[in-house]
Structure 1
Amino acid sequence: MFKRFLAVLIARNYEFFRDRAALAWNLIFPILLVVGFAFIFSGDRKALYKIGVLTDIIETSNNHKVMTLKHIEFVSYDEKSFAMNKLRQHKIDLLVDFEQKTYWVNQSSSSGYITEKLLLASSPNYQRKAIEGKEIRYLDWVVPGILGMNMMFSCLFGVGYVIVRYRKNSVLKRLHATPLRPIEFLTAQVCSRLLIVMSLSSGIFIGCNLIFDFYILGSLIDLFIIALLGTVSLISLGLLIAARSESEEFTGGMLNVASWPMMMLSGVWFSLEGSPEFIQTLSQLIPLTHMLEAARSIMLDGASLWQVKSHIIALLIMTGVFLISGSLLFRWQGQAR
C-alpha cells in the first residue's frame, strides 16, 4: 500500500513541476502581490485630519499658518458644491476659503470640531458656517466592493473552469459537430451566468439593505443597470481567458492573474486616492474599477446614469473587446497529442 501511495505522490509531483505554467504562477504570483502592495502603500502614513481648500493649495501654503501643520491633509477643490457634498458626507473634516476668510464645518463631525479649533488657533477672524449631513459609514462605502468582488470571482471562476472542463472532457468536441457557432455558445454562457450572478447578488443586496439600511441617494434601477453591465464584462473576460486552454491548473493561474490585481487595484476595500499616479491609471483598465466607481457614485452621491456615462462606455468597450476576442480565439478541441 505504501508503494502505491509513494508512486502516486511522485507522479503527481512530477506532473506539477513539469507544468511550467502552474509552477511559474506559484513562484511569481506571491512576489507580484508583495511588490504591488509595496507600491500602493509606498506613501507616508495617513493623515489624522483632512481639510478641503477652495483656493489653490500651492499659492496659499506659504500665507497661512494652518497649512504648515503636520498630519493634516489638504485637498484642493474647484467646485464649491462638490466640496460641500464631501463635507456633508464626512469625507473631509473642514472646508476653508482662505480668500473669503470663511470656513464650513459639519456639526455632526467630531473630527470637524478638532480641525475647527486648529484653524481658529491660527486664524481667529474667520467666519464660521455650519452645515448638517449624515455620515457615510465604511459599510456603506465598502458594500459595493464586497458584492463586486463576489460577482467577479463567480463570473471568472464560474465560467472559466466550466469551459476548460468541457474542452478537457470532449464536450466541446461533440458540440463542434453541431451547427453551433462559437459566438452562440459563448453568448449562451454569458446569459446563463448573468442570470445566476444577478439573481444572487440582488437578493443579497436587498436582504442586507433591509437589515443595515444602506446610504442610498441614487436610483436602484440605475444601480442594477451598472451591476448588469459590470457582470457581463467580467463574464466576457472569464470566457476570453478560457478560450483556448485545456489545463485546469493553467486556467486557474490565469484567472488568479486577472482576479487578484482587480481585487487590489479596483478599490474593493480601500480608496486608491493618494496612491502613485500610474497605479490609478492602471486601475482604469480594469472593468471592476468602473463598475465600483459608478455604483458608489450612484449610491453615495446620487449620480444618474448620464453622470457616470464614462464608466458605462468603458464597460461596453471592454465587454465588446473581451467577447469578440474570445470568439476569435475560441477552440473547440484541445491540442492534438
Structure 2
Amino acid sequence: MSSGAANHPLVQLFIARFREFIRTPEAVFWSYVFPLVMMISLGLAFRSDSVEPVAVCVQEGPQADELIQTLQGNPRFVVLRGSPEECRQMLRSGKAELVLTAEGSGTEAVYHYQLDQTRPGSVSARDAVNDALQIAAGRKDPVGTKQTAVTEAGSRYIDFLVPGLIGMGLMGGGVWGVGYAIVDMRIRQVLKRLLGTPMKKHHFVAAMMASRMVFMIPEIIVILILSRLMFSVVSHGGYLLIGVIVLLGAFQFASIGLIIASRARTLEAVAGLMNLTMVPMWIGSGIFFSAERFPDLVQPVIRLLPLTPVISSLRQVMQEGAGLITILPDLGLMLAWLVITFVVALRIFRWD
C-alpha cells in the first residue's frame, strides 16, 4: 500500500477503530465468546437423543399395583406413586406430566387422567399412556401400522437455533458496536477533535461500518464451523447466500446503530435507546422459538422488525435449501431498512 493510501482518513479511522476493539477484552468476549457459549450450551441442552421417558404419577388406590406393573414394563414411562396430594404436587411442579387413577375394576374399569392441557407434554403423555393401557387390556387395531425411523439433517432444534444466533450476533454487533462506540467517542470529545482533521463525514461513517464487517465476518465463520464440527449443522442452500444475507444484515444493523447514536450524548441514553430497539427483536423475531407462535394480530408488525427477515432468510437457506428468488422479499426489506436508516442518520448526525 502506498504512503498516500495508508494515510487516507478512511484507512486511518479504520485502523484506529480496529485497535480500539482488540484492546477491549469485554468487546471481544461479547462479540466472539458469548455467541459460541450460547450455541454450545443450548445445543447440548436440546441435543437430539432418543425420546425422553414420560413421568407418570399413579395415584394410590385398589388398582394402583396393576397399573404400575403394566406401565413399568414399557421403557417410555417413568412410573411414580403417591397420594392424591403428592401426585398433584408432582404435576404442579413438573416432576410428572400426568396423574393416573383407575376407577372400578375388570370390564367396568375407567382410567382417569389428570393433566394440564396447556402443556403439550402432558397431552402427549396421556395419549401414550392410554395406548399402552388399552393394548395391555387386549385392544386390537383394525388397521396394521408400520414405522420407519428417519433422521433428517435440519430438523433438530440446534439447526433451528444456529440461524437465530447468527442473526442475534449481527444485531448486537451492529447496534452495540457502532452505536455505543460513537457515543463513547462523543463523550470523550474524540468526535469534536476529528472535525479538525482532513476527514469528511462519510469517511468516518464508512470506517465505522467497515470495521464492524471485519469484526463480524470471523464471528459468523467460527459459529458456522463449530456448529458443523460439534453438531453436524449444514446449510442445504450452500454458503454463498448466507454470505449475502450476513453482509446485508451487518450493514443494516450498523446503520440502525448509527441512527441510534446520532443524537445521544450519554451512555445511559444510548443504552436505553439500544435496549428499546433490540428487546422487541429479541422477543419477537424468532431467535429461540418461531415467531409464528405470536397471534395473527401482531404478525404484520413482527415481519417488519429488522431482525425478522435476517433470521427468516437464514433459516430458509440453511434448513430448506431456498434459493435467491425465494428470499428476495426478505432481502428487499433488509435493504429498505439499510437505506432509510442510513440516509436519516447522515442528516441528523451531530458531532458534539
Number of residue pairs matched by the alignment: 225
Select which of 147, 152, 158 maps to 1:134.
152
Aligned partner of residue 246 in structure 1, secondary structure: coil
Structure 1 Cα separation of the partners of residues 160 and 186 of structure 2: 40
Select which of 147, 150, 175 maps to 2:166.
147
Aligned partner of residue 259 in structure 1, secondary structure: helix
User: 2:317 corresponds to which letter in structure 1?
Assistant: I
Given that residues 167 and 173 in structure 1 are in contact (C-alpha distance below 8 angstroms), is that contact kept between their aligned partners in structure 2?
yes
Residue in structure 2 matched with residue 13 of structure 1 by the alignment: none
Deviation at 1:235, TM superposition (A): 1.0
TM-score by length of 2: 0.57
TM-score by length of 1: 0.60
Given that residues 219 and 304 in structure 1 are in contact (C-alpha distance below 8 angstroms), is that contact kept between their aligned partners in structure 2?
no
Structure 1 Cα separation of the partners of residues 346 and 144 of structure 2: 64
Q: Is residue 303 of structure 2 the alignment partner of residue 284 of structure 1?
A: yes
Residue in structure 1 matched with residue 13 of structure 2 by the alignment: none
User: 2:242 corresponds to which letter in structure 1?
Assistant: L
**Compared CA separation, residues 214 and 324, structure 1 to 2 (3 A):** same
What is the 5 A alignment of 1:24-35? none
Given that residues 161 and 251 in structure 1 are in contact (C-alpha distance below 8 angstroms), is that contact kept between their aligned partners in structure 2?
yes
User: 2:339 corresponds to which letter in structure 1?
Assistant: G
**Compared CA separation, residues 126 and 183, structure 1 to 2 (3 A):** farther
Q: Deviations over 1:300-324 (max 9, x none)?
A: 1000122100000111110011111
Deviation at 1:45, TM superposition (A): 3.1
Q: Deviations over 1:229-275 (max 9, x none)?
A: 11111111011100111111010010111111111111000012242
Of residues 152-161 and 306-315 in structure 1, the stretch that sits farther from structure 2 once superposed is 152-161
In structure 2, runs of 5+ residues without a counterpart are 1-116
Aligned partner of residue 273 in structure 1, secondary structure: helix
Structure 2 Cα separation of the partners of residues 184 and 264 of structure 1: 35
Structure 1 Cα separation of the partners of residues 149 and 320 of structure 2: 17
Structure 1 Cα separation of the partners of residues 158 and 281 of structure 2: 20
What is the 5 A alignment of 1:118-267? 134=152, 136-267=155-286
**Compared CA separation, residues 237 and 244, structure 1 to 2 (3 A):** same
Deviation at 1:180, TM superposition (A): 2.8
Structure 2 Cα separation of the partners of residues 244 and 47 of structure 1: 48
In structure 1, runs of 5+ residues without a counterpart are 1-43, 50-69, 72-109
Q: Deviations over 1:36-88 (max 9, x none)?
A: xxxxxxxx836569xxxxxxxxxxxxxxxxxxxx98xxxxxxxxxxxxxxxxx
Structure 2 Cα separation of the partners of residues 181 and 284 of structure 1: 36
- The alignment's C-alpha RMSD in Å is 3.0
Given that residues 159 and 235 in structure 1 are in contact (C-alpha distance below 8 angstroms), is that contact kept between their aligned partners in structure 2?
yes
Residue in structure 2 matched with residue 45 of structure 1 by the alignment: 118
| Runs of 4+ with deviation above 4 angstroms | 46-49, 123-133
Asked which structure has the greater CA Rg, the reply is 2
Residue in structure 2 matched with residue 74 of structure 1 by the alignment: none
Aligned partner of residue 284 in structure 1, secondary structure: helix
